[in-house]
Structures are given as C-alpha cells and as structure tokens.
Structure 1
Amino acid sequence: MKKIIYFFSVAMLLGSLNVYSQGCIAVRHMASATGNPNSTTSMMKGGQFQFTASYRYLYSFRHFVGTEEQKERIENNTQVINTSHAFDFGLSYAVNPRLSFALNIPFIDNARSSLYEHYGNSIEANPEQKRFFTYSKGVGDMRLSTTYWLLNPATHLKGNIAIGVGIKAPTGDANVQGNFHKLDKNKVEYIQRKALDQSMQLGDSGWGYSIELQGYQTLFKNASVYYNGFYMFSPKTVNPATNFSVPDQFAGRAGFSYLIAPKSGISFALGGRVEGLPAIDRIGNSEGSRRPGYIVSVEPSLILNTHHHSFTFAVPYAVVRNRIKSWSDMQDPAGKKHGDAAFADYLITATYAFRF
C-alpha cells in the first residue's frame, strides 16, 4: 500500500502541468494533453474513470520589456492589472493500464483594469488618473487527449515514460466584447464597445495539436524525480474578428518529490517550470498581434493521496519573466521596437482528483 501511495504522489505531480494566461502573456487556460490535471491514470485499470477539478488564481501587475521590469508603471499607477480565477474540469477513461483518454473543459473568470485602454495614461488626457474595468467569463477551449505509457505501470513503479497527443477545439469565445470609457475633445465621456485585450479572451479561435512527454524515476526510498512537458502547434494565423494571433504554446516541469508521511499519503515536491508562447510559430506564419514571452518559476507542491482521492496544492513563484520581441517587433528596421507585458509574481493552484 505504501508503494501505491508513493506512486500516486508522483503521478499527481506528472499530471499537474497547467498553462494559463500569465497576465498579458496570453497563454490559454489549458491542462497538459497528457491526461488531465493531477492525473493518476497510469495506475488505472481498464474500464476505470477519473474525475478532476482544478483551480488557479493569478494577479498580474508587473510590466516587463525583455527581462527588465518597467518599475515606473507601478510608481506612476499606470500598470495594467489582470485578476483571473480559472477552473478546469476533466474526465479520464482508461482503456487498459497503459492507454487512457481524457476530456478537459475550462471555465474562466477574468477582470482587467487599466488607464491606457480608457481615458489614457497621461495627466493631460486623464487628469484624475481614473482606472476602469473590463470583464470576461465563460467556457474556454476544450481539449481531448490520449496518453500511452511505454512500460507496464503495474510492473514498473520505479520508473516509466509516457507519450501523449492532444487536440484543442475552439470552443471558447475568441471575440469577447467590453465597454471602454473614452473622452471626446470637449472632455465628455462616451462608451466605445470593442474586443477585449487578448489576455481576456476565453479562446483563440483556432484548433491546436499537441505532443507531450512525461516520466518519473525513483532515486531512493520514497524519493523520485519527475518531468513533463508539451508543445502545442496552432496552424491558424490570426483571429479575423480581432486580428489577434493564434500562437503556439509550450510548458515544461521537472522536480524532486518525497513521501514525507507514508501512512497519511502526504508528499512534498520542489521543482521548476517554464511556460509561455513563442514569437515564431512552427506551422504557418506568425502575423497578428501577440505578446510572446515566457515565465520560469520555482514550484513547491504539497500532495495528499488516499485510495480513491487525491489533492495537490502548489504555489509557483516567478524567478524569470521575459517579454520577448514579437514577429511584428522584429519588422522594425531600426530594431528598437519591443513591446511590454504584465506578469504575476506567483500563482496559486489546487487540484482534486477522484478515481472510480
């Protein structure tokens, strides 16, 4: 039983790779296509199901150009603030102990406040420095995926590797509209209704195709290393309704886990993760508006496992935030154009899984 609980702890870590909008870096809310958040499908018997529910909180406000923070944005109160509550619901089915399928449905609740999108950042345009909000809420882009363990999980508890492929469907609204407060030349307010910022959109309007890898290896009693990652290809170039890019996405994690209380099923893990979107897509061109970049985080996690129930709590803390040049930035003949993006300091994530 201790070996099973130990294995579940590792499996929970393997399945918990989630990628979400990192403030203005508009990475869609999506789980790893290798199973679903906090999956233990590698120990499922044929015909078994697993339900998962995960939550993520984000508060982004720090602006970066490259890896340099634009501290004056906070000092001048012109920073853009994104607050996001994201939920992901998944259902997995094991055909046999090595092959499983998963469906994931995200639900997202976003709020964004800024000056520049409304009256403006400057004192001349916005003397009272008024800040206004926009909102988006609804279902995001769904994912269907399959996972295959290269070795028999029942006989390889000490180490295994799985490969996976997935497909993302454009089920989330990719043209969410909002009200923007503007002033005419006589300083009279009027409302302009238009598409929200790309980080607030619930979907990207395109189909995505992902390839994934995950694995684990025991180091010594109750201790192991884990790793997983994915890359999602997005062939569609832009959303014609907004001219936002439909970018590729990527994420990866690796770390060390230790079963600190075998009888209680409590484990602790410490690892690193990287997530983001590239400036240049692997398939198709990279036109349209996007804020490419990546986040490198240190990720401590606490995992609790029982026979049928599992819970994971993690707080990835950003140590590197890099808003790289976009394709449109690269077209500047002087090489000076380089847009900014807002990032969070940390995420708060929690996942519950039930196998039946």
Structure 2
Amino acid sequence: MKNHILTSIIALAMLAVGQDAMAQGCVAIRQFSGLGNAVGQGNILNQGEWNISTNYRYFKSFRHFRGSHEEPERVENGTEVINHQHGLDINVSYAFTERLYGIVSLPFQYNERSSLYEHNREDRHTTYSKGFSDMRIGAGYWLLSGEKAKKGNTAIGLGLKFPTGDYAATSTFYKGEDEVPTELTVDQSIQLGDGGTGLIVDFQGLWNIGSTNFWYYDGFYMFNPKETNGTPTNRSRPNEAIMSVPDQFAVRTGVFRSFEKIHGLGASLGGRFEGIPVRDAFGGSDGFRRPGYIISVEPGITYMRGDVTGTLNVPIALFRNRTQSVTDIENSTPEREVHGDAAFADYLISFTLAWRIPKKAPALFNSL
C-alpha cells in the first residue's frame, strides 16, 4: 500500500510539471517546446501504456520593452500593440518500454493582433490568424530503471519540429488616409509557423527531496538551421524585409508538493527562463526577428482522479528583455543605436487535461 501511494504521488508530480513552454509576447512567437514536457505524461507510463492530453494556453501581450526598460508611455498614449494568443495542443505519447517513450504533438492556434502602426497609424485595427501550427514528433529515454529510479529519474529527449503551419498567413490591413483594405502577411508574432524544420533536444526530471516534496526540472533547445523563410515582413529596412527562422529555448525548475490529506491534490512553485537568442546556434541569423527572454515565477495546482489529471499553471513575468537583434546591430551607427522593442504579457494561463490509458491485463489474469 505504501509503495502504491508513493507511485501515485510521483505520477501526480510528473503530470503537474510536464507543461508546455510558451513565452509571453512577441519574443517567443509560438508554442514550440521540448518534447518531454510537451506532453509530459509519457514519463510515468508503464510499457504498453498510452497517454492522451490537451494543453490550452492564453496570454495577452501589451507591455513594451526595449532591452529591459519598459516604455509605459505606449500604454498611456494608446499606441501599444496588443496580441491575444490562444494555443491548443493535442498530445499522444506511448511507452515502448518502461524507459523509452514516443511522442506526437499536434498544435492549433487562434491569434489576434491590434495596432496602429501597421495600418494608418491613427486608427486601431485588428489582424487575425488561425489554424494548424508546426507539429512535433520525437522520443525520450529515462536514464535509470528499477531500484535506481526509486527516488527520482532524468530523461533526455530528441525530436523534430516540422513546418506544417502556415508561415505566410495573411489578413486585412487598412492603409493610408482612406483606410484602403489591403491583404498582407501578418506580423511574425502571430504567424502559425516559421517555415523551418527544427531539431529539438530536451531533458526533464523529478527527484524526491523528502516526504511528499519533489524537485522538478526540464528544459529544451530547438535548433532552427534555416536562415529565412521568404515571408515578407512589410517593414521598410531592406535587411528586415524577410522573416527569420529563429532558435528557441526554455528551462524550468521548482518544487512540487502532494497533499496527503487531500488525495489527488498537489501544488508546485518554480521559475522559468525562456526566449529566442540573438543568433542561431547553426545556420545564418539574417532576416527579421525579435530576440529576447523572459524570467517568470510559476505557481501551479494539480488534481488527479483515477487516470485523469488536470493541471493549471500561471507563469508570472518578473523580468523581460527585448535584446538587440542582428538587424538592429547592422542598422546602428556610431551616432545612433538602433534597438527594436517588443510587447510582453504579464502572465500566461496554461491548463492541461491528461488521460492515462493503462495496459489491460490478459484475459487469463482477469479471470483469476
């Protein structure tokens, strides 16, 4: 009975911390993430078991930063850019063995972007994008097994992100004094894909640190070697005319606690660091991108009932930095430094509902 309770607590903890990474604003432009924490629950499966989960995320970005300096006057004078972004991932994982698991993640998006500067600079209008985004597939492997994994374990993963999302989505813009409707590509922050095939390397782990307390950690780096995707940005500077295909990264860590007096209930508190680098690790870094990073505190709550678990995480931004891009550096002169801005959110809402499908015992054993 004691072992059964401990197993349930570990399962609850892994379900709680296996969340998607999606930074809050124009910097991290879509819900790319590592594979293990994209569906998370593959790590608690026994051989032959499945897990199906859905993850919904929402944020509103509107606070403008240039470097780490906020520009509050953008909100005060009504010139801020406002993004409402909704993401829904349908995730399926399968345990080939007690240590090896496979993952498929199918993402969908609905986005709205409201601004003045993209239209006639005097009247606010909204552009839209919606549909299937860039899917991910991959596998992970737990480094320990049996008694060695009794107190905790770490998994490493490898996968691919495919350019299945529309990376040249268009919407209606209103240009000039007459507000002439014009069909143009939407801003990079609400494109449904980036047009590149990405290589994802990730890790995740959980360790018991006493009683029903656990230390968790996970992270990923997505290598996007393709330089540009050919999609016009509608920006005036020649070196910013085409969209870049950027790398992305995220790291999370924290503590999870299961409440023994309320069976199935747990809570977590941690931090996360995520963003887009100025330059890619491989391939060129030309084209337009908004690099930067976000540091957040991440509280969460989880409830498990049977094989179904619900988890709510709300990362709250503590530090936001829109770093100087390659094109900013190229456009700067000794007399004038160019440093673009980006809009960030105050918080992100992430809710996951997961269903673990146990492997059925052979009919012979069911009859005994």
TM-score range, shorter chain: over 0.9
Whether the 8 Å contact between 1:165 and 1:209 is mirrored in structure 2 is yes
Q: Which runs of 5+ in 1 are unaligned?
A: 121-125
User: CA separation of 1:26/1:40 partners in 2, compared to 1, >3 Å: closer, same or farther?
Assistant: closer
Q: How far apart, CA to CA, are the structure 2 residues paired with 1:119 and 1:5?
A: 57
> CA offsets, 1:7-51, max 9 Å, x none?
0122124421x23353211432134212633x2323312211110
Q: How far apart, CA to CA, are the structure 2 residues paired with 1:244 and 1:22?
A: 20
Query: How far 1:140 sits from its partner (Å)?
Result: 0.5
Q: How far apart, CA to CA, are the structure 2 residues paired with 1:156 and 1:21?
A: 32
Matched residue, 1:123: none
> CA offsets, 1:205-243, max 9 Å, x none?
000001111112111100011000000000100011331
Alignment of 1:1-356 (within 5 A): 1-16=4-19, 18-20=20-22, 22-34=24-36, 36-37=38-39, 39-120=40-121, 126=122, 130-152=123-145, 156-183=149-176, 187-242=177-232, 243-261=242-260, 264-331=263-330, 332-334=332-334, 336-356=337-357
Structure with the largest fraction of helix: 2
* Partner SS for 1:36: helix
Query: How far 1:193 sits from its partner (Å)?
Result: 1.4
Whether the 8 Å contact between 1:30 and 1:106 is mirrored in structure 2 is no
User: CA separation of 1:293/1:224 partners in 2, compared to 1, >3 Å: closer, same or farther?
Assistant: same
Task: List structure 1 segments (4+ residues) > 3 angstroms apart after TM superposition.
Answer: none
Q: How far apart, CA to CA, are the structure 1 residues paired with 2:23 and 2:312?
A: 19
User: CA separation of 1:203/1:262 partners in 2, compared to 1, >3 Å: closer, same or farther?
Assistant: farther
> CA offsets, 1:136-194, max 9 Å, x none?
000100000101000016762311111101100000000001111112xxx32312211
Q: How far apart, CA to CA, are the structure 1 residues paired with 2:329 and 2:146?
A: 47
Q: How far apart, CA to CA, are the structure 2 residues paired with 1:132 and 1:62?
A: 18
Kindly report the root-mean-square deviation, in angstroms, between the aligned alpha carbons of the 2 structures: 1.4
Aligned-pair identity (%): 42
Whether the 8 Å contact between 2:102 and 2:140 is mirrored in structure 1 is yes
Structure 2 residue identity aligned to 1:59: K
Q: Which runs of 5+ in 2 are unaligned?
A: 233-241, 358-368
> CA offsets, 1:257-300, max 9 Å, x none?
11123552111110000111000100011100000001110000
Whether the 8 Å contact between 1:164 and 1:213 is mirrored in structure 2 is yes
Whether the 8 Å contact between 1:5 and 1:262 is mirrored in structure 2 is no
User: CA separation of 1:232/1:244 partners in 2, compared to 1, >3 Å: closer, same or farther?
Assistant: same
Q: How far apart, CA to CA, are the structure 1 residues paired with 2:101 and 2:90?
A: 17
> CA offsets, 1:287-333, max 9 Å, x none?
00000001110000001123311111011000001000101112223
Query: How far 1:61 sits from its partner (Å)?
Result: 0.4
Q: How far apart, CA to CA, are the structure 2 residues paired with 1:175 and 1:5?
A: 45
Q: TM-score, normalised by structure 1?
A: 0.93
* Partner SS for 1:41: helix
Whether the 8 Å contact between 2:25 and 2:344 is mirrored in structure 1 is yes
Whether the 8 Å contact between 1:45 and 1:94 is mirrored in structure 2 is yes
Q: How far apart, CA to CA, are the structure 1 residues paired with 2:262 and 2:63?
A: 43
Structure 2 residue identity aligned to 1:137: K
Structure 2 residue identity aligned to 1:151: L
Paired residue total: 343
